[in-house]
Amino acid sequence: MVIGDWVNFLITNYKLRKRCSPEGSITNYELRITNYELRITNYELRTTNYELRITNYQSWLFTNNN
């Protein structure tokens, strides 16, 4: 679920901010984790868009063949 993954990302982002040093800097390791989670979310969004295109195409075929 893309929305669920986005919520998980937001929760993770919040946890990363809580773990920051008092100066507010985030370590490279934590930034790498955040980037990895964003890449997963983008991939899932692309998958969703592809599935929507298939659905739209099938709807068009059904409408034009009847």
- Tell me how far apart the terminal alpha carbons of the chain are, to the nearest angstrom: 33
Contact of 34 with 16, CB cutoff 8 Å: yes
**pTM greater than 0.85:** no
CA distance 56 to 66: 16
Name the residue ranges covered by the structural domains of the chain. 1-6+27-66
User: How much is the average pLDDT of 34-61?
Assistant: 71
Q: Give the tokens for residue 10.
A: 């937001």
Contact of 41 with 6, CB cutoff 8 Å: yes
**Confidence (pLDDT) at 25:** 62
